[in-house]
Structure 1
Amino acid sequence: MQVVDFFCGAGGFSEGFEQAGFKVVKAFDIWEPAIRTHNMNHSSSGKVVAENRNVLEIAALPDEEFHKVVPDSEVIIGSPPCVAFSSSNKSGKADKTLGIQLLKAFFKIVARKKFKKNSLLKYWVMENVSNVQYYVEKEYTMEDLGITTLGDKKLKVIHENSKVYELQYYGVPSNRKRFICGEFPDFNKTLSKGIPLKKVLESLGTPYEYLNSNIVDPNYLLELKGLEVTDHHYKKLLADFEWKKAEIRKRDKGYMGKMSFPEDISKPARTIMATMSHSSREAMIFSDKQGEYRSPTIREVATIMSFPIDYRFYGESDSIKYKLVGNAVPPKFANTIAQAIMRDVKQNYVPPAYRKKVFSSDSNFTNLNFRKFSVKEEKQKPYSTKFKYHVPYLIINSFRVELSNKFNQNKDKVSWNVVIHRGQGKNAEKYENIPLTKNHFMNVEINKMETFISTHVKTISSIDNLQQNYCLPSNQRANLIGPEELLQAVREFIDEHFNNESKIVVENMTREIPLKIAASFYILFNIIGRLKND
């Protein structure tokens, strides 16, 4: 059976179908590293499968040219770019316009192939992030899709088995969740329990560990010599300022859920993102046996995504390769869908054994093995760098005190603001200019707070200094106070002097405020208010 793959990326969807015995006859993408990766892994016959063509343009082609460009096939698969729909992009509030256009372009292509005379198309599958389910209609008329030649036909998109799937139960060593829809047979979970990250890491070994021995793929019946496994025998160590920033963002996000630091290897791996990050909440960080922290190798993230260990990723840098992996459809999940289709067609279907990939000698392939990565040096930030964070590890009943900056139109004058937040998302509450006075606290508390405030106002001196200090690299801020140091100092002060969990009532506020939150706000608000504003 033949397959056409749209938005093919690095070829994960195609890989899963090829492993099940399908023939991928054509694939489309617009990113050259993805096209090259797909072709080098899926063109063993010498025929180029993936082409650089825009799916929006393909969908709009006149009939005769359209059917020449898109060959007839029994199956169409596709995974339109999902960045606009991802909940991690602007907290899910990114502009969806282009994303919806790409979805409809894919559906238009499916409809044109499905409803053409003597159509071969029997199955089609679209994969995407979970949030896409809220932007896909149950069915589309031809008018909805901009098709004028197919009458009153309707393309049904949502079927009984169109839903969000947890990929850890389909052979992918990751807790990745994905929505799929289309026309395909139902299929069962292949695992009752997810594969822990520990199994992946132990199978591959740490970088350089199995150079002179064999590496056994944890996902396939495949074994390679250590040196044959590409993009694994190197280390990318993280600088202190990188992992420390990641650590606080992972452990100190109570309203978003705390995350393990470093990764919890007893569970399936977290979702691999498309962007390689070293200091964000989403950063994947492994601990090294020498007590250092490092980024995962490309081979590690590829194996987490269930790519075979002989799969090659064609990019000149680790960030390009990481994006190729992170954007892909995990082959094991794709293979589960593909096998279900095969069983629907062939009663006695037996999945073929995995066939090791054969690559011609290619001097243009960049293998990261033995590449030296220098530890990143922290640079001075531009003066106009934004800051927004709360008193660390102090979130009580969803309340937190946040310090942030903003700039004038010319970006050369800074101001600072202190607010109390409660909750996150649609029901979040924000309190500014709260009428907190000395009368809300006991005399002993006020005396200690005023001493703390005076000391820090004297040390920081001005609004501008607070920003200037923030922009300096960590190693140049030893005796200076920027916003991060100020928030940490407030946290330590609260820990030392406020031990009870009482609450206070503030005029014009409908909720009682935890005393520790109120004290943090009072301290920060008064420090900012008393700093010189040159």
Structure 2
Amino acid sequence: MRAVELFCGAGGMSLGLQRAGVDIIQAYDAWSPAVETYRHNLGHHVSQRDLKDIFEMGPLIADLSPDLICGGPPCQDYSVAGKRIEGENAGLTKTFAMLVCIARPEWFVMENVPQAARSDAWQNARAMLVKAGYGLSECKLDASWYGVAQKRKRLFVIGRLGEQHGFLTSALTAARTKTQTVINDVLEIAEGYVYSRPFRAARGVRSVYEPFPTVTRTCWERLTERYLSNPHPNDPVPVTEAAVLTTQQLAQLQGFPENWQWRGATRQDIHQMIANAVPSPLAESIGRVILERHNAQTIPLVQGRFVQFLMKKGRSYQSARNVKSQLNRARRLLGGRTFTSLELQLATLESVEQFIALSIRTKSDLRAALRNHWDYQKMQQKQTKPEKIPLVLLRAA
């Protein structure tokens, strides 16, 4: 899979996707320190460009014919740490969508803070992407369940041409680790506790056996008299007994390797790049999920109460279970694809060689399973607002 990254920053997303097996053929960012750092660590396929220039960048990216466009448009206008006033940065979310619509890759991945899901900018961008034919899986992911020692929640929107909405949600759920990744999994901290400059009224001290809070631009800042005189009541030990992490350690919590080198940047720039990055283990997990579906190695799980729906239509429990099994078989023959119309779904199935070779009875059962599930989905859609694509929060079981 050939990918182009927009708003690439220092390269956290590219690093993770490369590890998953994605070929990053080009990356773009407007910030010189980020471009220099990316180039030094990941390669010369990065360019410093103003992505707001749609008329220049659209044809340039389209000529590359990527299979995937990925990126995290600037989030400062949405972030709870910012003013939350939609301005120029929020407009770059629409820029991302426009560039995707112009280049029309089969896939795209967009990352942002969860608050972006409720923004006018994203509503406009989403409308563009849906009109261009993309099915969307919108999920809020907690990075600590995807190999990152950080309780970092971010919005990920994954789109694929011709799919139904929510087509990848079950696969993203299945990709979670069995336990949260904690500080001790990544760093050796002799003190056993770490301090992070608290945001709002949060704790300042964390045990190494729990995830670090979200890495921000200011979390490296040292203790203040204000916190020393009024520590959080739930701090597990006195704050003076906790370690303060170095810049390199904070970078490692974001998934950057120990030998990562920062170029052309002040200390403040470095911490900004670290905070802005998509943690590479999380990007790697998402990349693997996409590649597995792209290569027809996974299928969407049957969500909801499909079996109960069939039983209400008069089938026995065992008969309903058989229909569900036949649906999964049909989905495997379709390579895990979902479709925006039943007719297209059935026509595609008819063209699959393995399906053609089946008995007449088996083919009839598979067609019927797809029809039954289509009816079930239509019933579900009537119970929700038709124009709203649900944002799924992937919680740990």
TM-score in terms of structure 1 length: 0.46
In 2, the alpha carbon distance for the partners of 1:76 and 1:138 equals 19
Letter in 2 for 1:268: P
Confirm or deny: 8 A CA contact 1:3 1:26 kept in the other structure.
Answer: yes
In 2, the alpha carbon distance for the partners of 1:171 and 1:306 equals 9
Deviation per residue, 1:283-333 (Å, 9 max, x gap): xxx999x96766411221112112233333325443322221111001111
Find 2:178's aligned residue among 143, 167, 192.
192
Q: Which residue number corresponds to residue 61 of structure 1?
A: 56
Superposed displacement of residue 165, structure 1:
0.8
Q: Which residue number corresponds to residue 31 of structure 1?
A: 31
What does 1:299-318 correspond to in 2, within 5 Å? Answer: 299-318=248-267
Q: Which residue number corresponds to residue 106 of structure 1?
A: 96
Letter in 1 for 2:28: F
What does 1:439-518 correspond to in 2, within 5 Å? Answer: none
User: What SS does structure 1 have at the residue aligned with 2:3?
Assistant: strand
Letter in 2 for 1:61: E
In 2, the alpha carbon distance for the partners of 1:139 and 1:27 equals 21
In 1, the alpha carbon distance for the partners of 2:279 and 2:115 equals 18
In 2, the alpha carbon distance for the partners of 1:70 and 1:298 equals 39
Q: Could you say if the C-alpha distance between residues 169 and 141 of structure 1 is closer, same or farther in structure 2, counting changes exceeding 3 Å?
A: closer
Q: Which residue number corresponds to residue 502 of structure 1?
A: none
Q: Could you say if the C-alpha distance between residues 53 and 300 of structure 1 is closer, same or farther in structure 2, counting changes exceeding 3 Å?
A: same
Q: Could you say if the C-alpha distance between residues 158 and 206 of structure 1 is closer, same or farther in structure 2, counting changes exceeding 3 Å?
A: farther
Deviation per residue, 1:159-210 (Å, 9 max, x gap): 2x312111111111100000011315342233122122133332xx569xxx
Whether 2:152 is the aligned partner of 1:166: answer no
Q: Could you say if the C-alpha distance between residues 301 and 140 of structure 1 is closer, same or farther in structure 2, counting changes exceeding 3 Å?
A: closer
User: What SS does structure 1 have at the residue aligned with 2:207?
Assistant: coil
Q: Which residue number corresponds to residue 332 of structure 2?
A: none
Q: Could you say if the C-alpha distance between residues 344 and 138 of structure 1 is closer, same or farther in structure 2, counting changes exceeding 3 Å?
A: farther
Confirm or deny: 8 A CA contact 1:137 1:157 kept in the other structure.
Answer: no
Superposed displacement of residue 279, structure 1:
5.2
Deviation per residue, 1:359-411 (Å, 9 max, x gap): xxxxxxxxxxxxxxxxxxxxxxxxxxxxxxxxxxxxxxxxxxxxxxxxxxxxx
Aligned-residue CA RMSD in angstroms? Answer: 3.6
The number of residue pairs the alignment matches comes to 276
Q: Which has the higher contact order (CA 8 A, sep 6+)?
A: 2
Whether 2:152 is the aligned partner of 1:176: answer yes
Regions of 4+ moved over 6 Å: none
Q: Could you say if the C-alpha distance between residues 141 and 274 of structure 1 is closer, same or farther in structure 2, counting changes exceeding 3 Å?
A: same
What does 1:370-385 correspond to in 2, within 5 Å? Answer: none
Confirm or deny: 8 A CA contact 1:41 1:311 kept in the other structure.
Answer: yes
Confirm or deny: 8 A CA contact 1:287 1:294 kept in the other structure.
Answer: no
Q: Which residue number corresponds to residue 333 of structure 1?
A: 282
Superposed displacement of residue 278, structure 1:
3.3
Q: Could you say if the C-alpha distance between residues 105 and 328 of structure 1 is closer, same or farther in structure 2, counting changes exceeding 3 Å?
A: same
Higher alpha-carbon Rg: 1
User: What SS does structure 2 have at the residue aligned with 1:18?
Assistant: helix
Unmatched tracts of structure 1, length 5 or more: 115-120, 146-152, 208-237, 350-534
Q: Which residue number corresponds to residue 511 of structure 1?
A: none
In 2, the alpha carbon distance for the partners of 1:295 and 1:323 equals 18
Q: Which residue number corresponds to residue 2 of structure 1?
A: 2
Of 124-133 and 186-195, the range deviating more from structure 2: 186-195
Confirm or deny: 8 A CA contact 2:57 2:99 kept in the other structure.
Answer: no
Q: Which residue number corresponds to residue 86 of structure 2?
A: 96
In 2, the alpha carbon distance for the partners of 1:68 and 1:198 equals 41
What does 1:140-289 correspond to in 2, within 5 Å? Answer: 154-155=131-132, 159=136, 161-183=137-159, 185=168, 186-187=171-172, 188-202=174-188, 250=198, 257-259=201-203, 261-275=204-218, 276-278=220-222
Confirm or deny: 8 A CA contact 1:128 1:180 kept in the other structure.
Answer: yes
Q: Which residue number corresponds to residue 77 of structure 2?
A: 84
Q: Name whichever structure is richer in helix by fraction.
A: 2
Confirm or deny: 8 A CA contact 1:16 1:335 kept in the other structure.
Answer: yes
Superposed displacement of residue 347, structure 1:
4.9
Confirm or deny: 8 A CA contact 1:137 1:158 kept in the other structure.
Answer: no
Q: Which residue number corresponds to residue 370 of structure 2?
A: none
Letter in 1 for 2:246: T
Q: Could you say if the C-alpha distance between residues 189 and 68 of structure 1 is closer, same or farther in structure 2, counting changes exceeding 3 Å?
A: closer
In 2, the alpha carbon distance for the partners of 1:60 and 1:17 equals 28
Deviation per residue, 1:122-172 (Å, 9 max, x gap): 110100111011012276566xx9xxxxxxx8136672x312111111111
TM-score in terms of structure 2 length: 0.61
Letter in 2 for 1:105: T
Superposed displacement of residue 37, structure 1:
1.3
Find 1:72's aligned residue among 65, 70, 77.
65
Deviation per residue, 1:29-62 (Å, 9 max, x gap): 111111011111221xxxx2111111111x2338
